[in-house]
Structure formats: structure tokens, C-alpha cells
Structure 1
């Protein structure tokens, strides 16, 4: 199917982010995987080799997707990789006690395809260690690929291919429906808050909770990760983030007045 890549098309709203990748071959194979499914945005965070995009192994395994390598970006931090995104999904074979809500690739793909306000990133960890907890906790969902429980380890580029495929299938199923809904003008939905706005809100809320002695910074007991998990399920809009920041600001203001 030849899909029309409109501004709201998932093909223009989704990026693939590789963190601490060590193998140039995996970078090339990942570029090939996303191109075969119609995607084009690849971002590398702190790869082992700074010149990975020019390495022979990467170019060879890209096998016709050299344009994806040529346009790929290399950044130093996950925050830089997620600039402009309002939704992030971390992929991991290892479930975490305080992770965001866990979802399957197909459910994630449907969510991204149906909600045209989402500008998403799918994040993959290093071949050896996966993703660290501090990155997983920044994400809206944790993706777990259903696999053989006795041998669930996928190669990095294979995992990229699975996610890219599911997102393409979801995009092809929703493209016509999205156009019809947009044309009807029925219903209301605010702008989805971006990840920078949400992180700022959490920092603001944390200060307020400390001020009212609800949160002990010396013994936080995973309160903030639990709150992040709660709000990840809600799917915050910008106006909702502003309301929560207003509440936090009022708490801090009232506390300062009482302390005078």
C-alpha cells in the first residue's frame, strides 16, 4: 500500500532512538529496518564509535538505507534525543518494579497511529545492558515484546524491525480513519504535553511535596516514580500540566507566607 505521508501521518511523527549502541552493524541494520517500513528518523545517543555512521559495517548492513544513515543524528543525552517529542516508549526485555505502564508493540502502535497529537520516540538500549532505569522512568510506557520465555533475547535490529513493522501496520489501518475524524471536527482534545513540560511539572510538584512534608527527600520511598507511573497512564495534556504546576505553585506560595 502506498500511504500518503501527511503532516499527521505516523511516518512523520515517530523517531527511533538507539542508546549506547556498540555495534556499527546493528546501526546499519536498524536503519534498513526502519526504511523498509517507511520511517526515516534515526537518532543515536552516545554510540560507542563517534564515526559509526561512516563505518563500513554500518554502511554494508544498511543495504540501500544509506540515506537513513546520512540523515541520522548523534547526540550526547536522551534529553537531546527527545526534543520535540511528547511521548516516549522504552523497549526492554527486563520488567522493572517501578516502570511506566507495560504495553505490547501492537497496542503501542495503535495508540500512536490513532492519536495524531503524539510525536513519539521508541527507545532501544545497548546490546549488552539494555536501558538504564533513569531513562525508562522518563518514558510514558515500557514495551515488552512477547517472545519465547526460555529465550527472549532479540538482536537490537530485530527488535527495531518488530516495532517498525507494527507501527506500519497500525498506520495503514488508521490513515483513512484519521482523515475522516479530522474532517468532521467532532470532539475536543487538547495538545499533548511534551516530555520537557512533564519533567518540569514533576520537579515543581516534588518541591511542593517536600515543602508540605509529604515527601521526605532523605527517604523518598519511590514516591516520585509511582506518581510518574500514575500520570503516564493519564496521558497529560499541556493545560493539565499547567493546572498541576499551578497547584504546586500555590502550595509553595502558601508555605512561604506561613513561614514569615
Structure 2
């Protein structure tokens, strides 16, 4: 049976995640950028100072978006930040050798607006950006196509670019949905049987299980793993894994390890 699709607009399905932010003013500025574009869910992962959401500089830079700060959450891990998320995008100016597929902001926004999934934009520390282990957990990497001779955007500026594109895509989505699709377009859009999308938490557990199975059969050397797991994650990130598909892969991993599926 086809799973019911989330009919909420992207305004209610997009989460902004800031990882180890150093400057309280950037948190306030991101909150302001979010509110001007109609988004409200903000999550901070281990900000590098206490009282991040009440800091006077954060409140001042929010400039009328204090309600975004008041409803924001602070969590201690990416697992908590990504709970319930199906489509996550790491935002980075630095391309990675084994990153997930790279999208421009508009491409991400269109996919997030049209898919009916809970999506997240993840921004790293102002100085260090996002570590590879977080990027590898994401479905896509967003690279803003700025001037190559001077591509420096601060955190709040990058967030403003992304939430603007998401607003434009969210506003366009109802009109696009109201336009009848041609048969070929309908097939490409996934009309027909479609299972429930796997969450990032489920997919991350699948990777751990698969890695254990590959070590058990000697295919992966745990002491010298090289780039096998990042390559596998990159391969799977090009798909939209469904919950049942994740369960199948975990069942295979259990069988490899000599344990019957539960």
C-alpha cells in the first residue's frame, strides 16, 4: 500500500541546523533570515558558548525574530538534530572527494519543496565548517555558486541565500502540483507505488550494521578502512532509500554475520 505523503508545505517541513556556532550574533542573524522567509524551526548542536539563545548579541541581531530563538532547541548530537529528517543537506564552500551529490541551492529547494519530506539544512562552525563525518551523513552537499575570485560568505549570508531559494520553491510548489503532468513526467516524479522514506537515523544505523558485516567477512579491514564506507555512503546517497529497503539491507547484514533477521 502506498504510504500517505506529508502534505505540509516546506515552510513546516524545513529545519535549520547550526553546528558548533561560535558567534552569538550569527545565531540571531540566522533567526532573522529564517523569519523574513517564513521558516521557524531552528536547532543548535553544541554551540561553543553558554546561553546561546538568550545571549544579548543573539537577541539584538535577531531584530524582531526573537520568537525563532525562543522556540529553538539546543541538542548535544547530530543524531538528535536529525531525528525525523529524511532529506538532509550539508552547506559547505569546500567540496569533498567523497561527498554526497552536489546541488546548487535552487536544486535543493525544488527537491525539498516537491518531495513532501522533512528536510534539513546544516551549517557548520564559522571557522572550520562541517567535518567530513557530518557531510557523509547527508543526502546532498550544497555549494553556493559564488564569485570564484571571492566566494566568502559568512554564516548568516549563506543561510539567507538558502532560505530565500526555499521560500521561492515553497511558493511555487502548489502551482506546480495543480498542473496536470504528462505520463512520462508523472513516472519521473515517482507517481505510482512509493514506500515510506527512510529517516537519516535509520540510514545511519544501516551503515553501522553494514560496516560490521563487511568486517565480519573480511571485506573491510577495521584497522585500515581506507575510503570504503565513504564510497558506499556516497553510492547510497544518490538514491532515495525507503524504510523497507533499509530493513532489507540490514537483514542481509544480519545474515552475513550469522544472525537470523528478527
Alignment partner, residue 39 of structure 2: 39
Alignment partner, residue 225 of structure 2: 220
1:72 aligns with 2:77: no
1:124 aligns with 2:129: no
Question: Superposed, which structure 2 residues align to 1:139-218 within 5 Å?
Answer: 139-178=138-177, 187-218=192-223
RMSD: 2.0
SS across alignment from 2:238: helix
Distance 1:178 1:129 in 2: 40
Deviations 1:69-115, CA, capped at 9 Å, x for gaps: 11011111111111111221101001111111111111001110110
Aligned-residue offset at 1:54: 1.2
Unaligned runs of 5+ in 1: 1-5, 256-260
Deviations 1:30-53, CA, capped at 9 Å, x for gaps: 001011111000011111222121
Distance 2:25 2:217 in 1: 52
Distance 2:150 2:128 in 1: 16
SS across alignment from 1:32: helix
Alignment partner, residue 18 of structure 1: 18
Distance 2:170 2:37 in 1: 10
SS across alignment from 1:16: strand
Alignment partner, residue 111 of structure 2: 111
SS across alignment from 1:196: helix
Alignment partner, residue 29 of structure 2: 29
1:232 aligns with 2:254: no
Unaligned runs of 5+ in 2: 1-5, 181-185
Distance 1:126 1:120 in 2: 20
SS across alignment from 1:218: coil
TM-score normalised by L of structure 1: 0.90
Aligned-residue offset at 1:60: 1.4
Q: How many pairs does the alignment contain? A: 247
Aligned-residue offset at 1:177: 3.6
Distance 1:66 1:254 in 2: 52
Distance 2:21 2:241 in 1: 31
Alignment partner, residue 3 of structure 1: none
Aligned-residue offset at 1:167: 0.6
Alignment partner, residue 9 of structure 1: 9
Q: Report which of the two has the higher share of helix.
A: 1
Distance 1:53 1:179 in 2: 40
TM-score normalised by L of structure 2: 0.89
Aligned-residue offset at 1:7: 4.7
SS across alignment from 1:139: coil
